[in-house]
Amino acid sequence: MTRKIAILSGDGIGPEIIAEAVKVIHCLQREYDFQVELEEALVGGAAIDATGGPLPQKTRELCQQADAVLLGAVGGTKWESLDIAIRPEKGLLDLRAEMALFSNLRPAILYPQLASASTLKPEVVSGLNIMIVRELTGGIYFGQPRGIRTLANGEREGFNTLVYAESEIRRIGRSAFEIAMKRGKKVCSVDKANVLECTELWREVMTELAKDYPEVSLSHMYVDNAAMQLVRAPKQFDVIVTTNMFGDILSDCAAMLTGSIGMLPSASLDANGKGMYEPIHGSAPDIAGQDSANPIATILSVAMMLRYSLNETKLADKIEKAVNTVLDEKLRTADIHTEGTRKVGTEEMGDAIVAAIMRDMWGDAGGGASTDSQCARSSGLSNELD
Ligand code: IPM
Ligand code: MG
């Protein structure tokens, strides 16, 4: 059965990192009889420039019919002056909402090879493995009313609404408890229940839900404390479940514990496991086009896609193993480069991961030798995608 993956490169470093992820997919296609069709579409600033809006109808349709979506990043200074309702980020938010991708999984895992790349002491972060479960289609990101209005005295006022229905809290809570059952059986629900009624309800619903999961221990933490605990003693966490905005902030913070935000993949899932996969970092326009971005978060997002939407666990393992191998080989992009390691560009990192997958398949000699270089040379978004 051929599955379809929608490829949305987006803006800034998006096209470069997606090209490396596509190389990896092509390699799996060639070597492991992984049947998949890739189709590209526009999103974000690239879509605004080409069509006038950040989420063209064609992209919407493709994402609805695809089995999974792989996205690079959206946004950039070029589009910052546009109205918030038509900015690149709106394309991403609309896609999340339209596809009902309410459950956003952001694993923060420290690769032992990168312990010294973290700004925290190695003993604080070594062995770190946190899963942040972020609610993605509700809360203050989507609440109505919202806007900027002019008051009677002529002063302008900006306003947004933090709102969660019980059912929205319950379904993201279930995601978190189910995941915890397969991990360390600990859920920490992060809220601001001492100030915000909306998250007082959040806490109540999480507490009720915990009764269905007697094996899981549930704790609650205010978001300010959670931010502090993440940098003080991050290994106390197993699964963190939180609102859309708190999850946005805490996941960036957790990312840096692992050495670089360039390492963190994500999965955004609907109720049936269909999903969109993207690195958690942004479009980094300052380094776009310089062959210096880290493609690992995007490549690991492909692994998450194989695991969560395409039921190809073994292939997911292969990718994760290959990432481990290149880190063992001391290859580092600029963001994770430290003394005693070799600095490589985006493409070289992608090629090295492809080569490691090939070596895993063929060993160091024999049939691998020729196919290896052939595979490593494949130039990302090739004609197969047109
Ligand atoms: C993320 C990003 C997005 C968000 C932006 C680009 C809209 O920061 O995925 O974390 O805020 O959700
Ligand atoms: Mg973010």
247-295 confidence digits (pLDDT tens) = 999 999 999 899 899 999 999 999 999 999 999 999 999 999 999 999 9
One domain for residues 152 and 95: no
Which pLDDT band holds residue 364 (cuts at 50, 70, 90)?
low
- Quote the percentage of the chain above a pLDDT of 90: 91
pLDDT tens, position by position, 134-188: 999 999 999 999 999 999 999 999 999 999 999 999 999 999 999 999 999 999 9
188 has which bridge partners? 219, 240
First to last CA, the chain: 21
Close Cβ partners of 208 (under 8 Å, ≥ 6 residues apart): none
One domain for residues 375 and 293: yes
Choose among 67, 66, 74, 77: nearest CA to 9. Answer: 74
* Ligand 1, atom 10: closest residue by C-alpha: 248
- Output the CA–CA distances (angstroms, integers) from residue 254 to 110, 329, 371, in the order listed: 10, 25, 38
CATH number where 366 lies: 3.40.718.10
Alpha-helical segments (H) within 115-210: 122-125, 166-181, 197-210
Q: Which of 23, 90, 141, 238 is catalytic?
A: 141
110: pLDDT strictly greater than 50: yes
One domain for residues 148 and 95: no
One domain for residues 150 and 47: no
Choose among 108, 155, 149, 150: nearest CA to 132. Answer: 108
Q: Select from 90, 92, 249, 283 the residue to mutate for testing ligand 1; criterion: most ligand atoms less than 8 Å from CB.
A: 92
Cβ of residue 89 lying under 6 Å from some atom of ligand 1: yes
Tokens 């007697």 locate to 214
Question: Average pLDDT, stretch 225-229?
Answer: 98
One domain for residues 129 and 242: yes
Last residue of a domain, one of 246, 264, 282: 264
pTM: 0.92
Q: Which two tokens stand for residue 154?
A: 């002529």
- Over the range 150-164, which residues count as b (16 or more CB within 10 Å of their CB) and which as e? eeeeeeeeeeeebeb
In the reported structure, the alpha carbon of residue 244 is separated from the centroid of ligand 2 by a whole-number distance in angstroms of: 10
pLDDT tens, position by position, 133-145: 999 999 999 999 9
**Is there a contact between 188 and 237 (Cβ–Cβ < 8 Å)?**
yes
Quote the number of domains for the chain: 2
Question: Average pLDDT, stretch 93-117?
Answer: 95
267 has which bridge partners? 105, 277
The gap from C-alpha 152 to its chain's centroid, in whole angstroms, comes to 43
- Quote the percentage of the chain above a pLDDT of 70: 94
Is residue 191 flagged as an active site residue? no
pLDDT at 363: 82
In the reported structure, the alpha carbon of residue 30 is separated from the centroid of ligand 1 by a whole-number distance in angstroms of: 34
- Output the CA–CA distances (angstroms, integers) from residue 61 to 39, 149, 247, 275, 350, in the order listed: 12, 35, 28, 15, 30
One domain for residues 185 and 234: yes
pLDDT at 379: 37
Average pLDDT, the chain: 93
One domain for residues 137 and 27: no
What distance in Å separates the CA atoms of residue 386 and residue 381, rounded to the nearest whole number?
8
* Ligand 1, atom 7: closest residue by C-alpha: 89
374: pLDDT strictly greater than 60: no
Tell me the residue range of the domain where 372 lies.
Answer: 1-102+270-386
pLDDT at 371: 43
Q: Select from 84, 93, 133, 134 the residue to mutate for testing ligand 1; criterion: most ligand atoms less than 8 Å from CB.
A: 93
| Dihedral sign from CA coordinates of 360, 365, 366, 370 | positive
One domain for residues 153 and 257: yes
**Is there a contact between 117 and 110 (Cβ–Cβ < 8 Å)?**
no
One domain for residues 140 and 288: no
pLDDT at 385: 35
One domain for residues 257 and 325: no
* Ligand 1, atom 11: closest residue by C-alpha: 248
Cβ of residue 36 lying under 6 Å from some atom of ligand 1: no
211: pLDDT strictly greater than 70: yes
pLDDT at 369: 40
381: pLDDT strictly greater than 80: no
Last residue of a domain, one of 220, 246, 264: 264
Is residue 224 flagged as an active site residue? yes
One domain for residues 122 and 236: yes
Query: CB-hemisphere CA count at 13 Å for 271?
Result: 7
pLDDT at 382: 37
* Ligand 1, atom 9: closest residue by C-alpha: 280
One domain for residues 284 and 176: no
Burial of 206 (0-12, 13-18, 19+ CB in 10 A): buried
Eight-state DSSP code of residue 162:
-
What distance in Å separates the CA atoms of residue 376 and residue 305, rounded to the nearest whole number?
22
Last residue of a domain, one of 239, 264, 289: 264
What distance in Å separates the CA atoms of residue 297 and residue 72, rounded to the nearest whole number?
10
